Amino acid sequence: MAPVTDKAVALQAWVDQQDRLYQVAAPLLIGNTELCNRQARQLLGFTAKNQYSYTDELADIAHNALGLDGRLHIMSVLPGSGAEQAGLRKGDILLAAGIDPLPEGPEAEHEAASLIRTEMQGRTDINLAVMRDGERIALDVPLTSACAMAVDLGDSDSADAWADGSRVLITRGMLKFARSDAELAYVLAKEIALNILMPSERKDAAAVIDRLRVPVFGNAGTAPAEATQGYQPELTLRADTLSLYLLARAGYDIEHAPAFWKRLAETYPEQFRDNTAAMEASIRAIKDRMAQNQPLVPDDLPVPPLSQ
């Protein structure tokens, strides 16, 4: 078992890496509602946690190392979101939504999410009260249209990524493999594209996400063998193409995407296919559309609805 000090360092690194994922994913989620209409929702654009958002073993470490308590603290603010526009900051403590005080304690994260969703219904913005530097501040937060997909960090040293139809998980190992935020965006865009395209929830991937999204440290492993089956080649090819459109629309450079995926496939040939030739053809098509001021929408959309 890792010493407490080591786990404190690991937890801080986890929080920082999760925030990096959120920042890189932001333009992809906000800039592509036209292509993810099945998942498009109105969001506030922040994540909030308290010490009980982590395992029992890590709750005290979250309190001592991160300064978290029973109240919900803002952990990340989505760039370009209504939360950012309203001035919400990382470290703010959530006090109330509208006239309703927000809960504290072990179930606060889930209970507050439900309360805020109710408060958002039929509105274009909601009022949040936060505590900042000991002062209570009221903020009117506009709702933001975005692809409503949770983006989580995975507690595994394997270079891997998962999509289950509504969520994306990127492992610590993949963050280490990606040499830049642009390369990380390539991976995020691919998983977001898979969520858009897959006709139903992928339960094996959902089980992996449920397990790996909870940090354990010192016991991190890989996905269970029964969940390592790949996607159908046709779906993977469509996702490769759609991911490039998502990236281009979000303002990311797509020129170097094939080289990244080639390097990944060469390093992990059992996990990833080399579809670089098809990707290069898609990049040429995207550039042609851009040169002719045509909409950046792939020809094979719309997609079938996700089964309930």
Instruction: Indicate whether 196 and 217 sit together in one domain.
Output: yes
* Structural domain boundaries enclosing 67: 40-145
- For the chain, the average pLDDT equals 91
Instruction: Indicate whether 102 and 181 sit together in one domain.
Output: no
Residue 5 lies in a domain: no
Instruction: Indicate whether 193 and 223 sit together in one domain.
Output: yes
- Alpha carbon of 272 to those of 53, 158, 200, 249, 265: distances in Å? 33, 13, 22, 25, 5
Per residue in 202-259, pLDDT tens?
999 999 999 999 998 765 455 544 444 467 788 888 999 999 999 999 999 999 999 9
Instruction: Indicate whether 54 and 164 sit together in one domain.
Output: no
Instruction: Indicate whether 255 and 192 sit together in one domain.
Output: yes
Per residue in 121-160, pLDDT tens?
999 999 999 999 999 999 999 999 999 999 999 999 999 9
Residue 24 lies in a domain: no
Residue 296 lies in a domain: no
Residue 227, SS3 per DSSP: helix
- pTM to 2 decimal places: 0.91
Residue 9 lies in a domain: no
Instruction: Indicate whether 139 and 156 sit together in one domain.
Output: no
Alpha helix segments (H runs only) across 158-232: 172-177, 181-197, 203-212
Residue 88 lies in a domain: yes
Q: How many domains does one find in the chain?
A: 2
User: Rounded to the nearest 5°, which phi and psi values hold at 238?
Assistant: -65, -40
Residue 27 lies in a domain: no
Instruction: Indicate whether 249 and 130 sit together in one domain.
Output: no
Contact 33, 40 (CB under 8 A): yes
Of residues 99, 77, 73, the one with CA closest to residue 86: 77
Integer-rounded Cα Rg, in Å, for the chain is 20
Of residues 102, 127, 99, 5, the one with CA closest to residue 50: 102
Instruction: Indicate whether 176 and 282 sit together in one domain.
Output: yes
What CATH number is given to the structural domain containing 117? 2.30.42.10
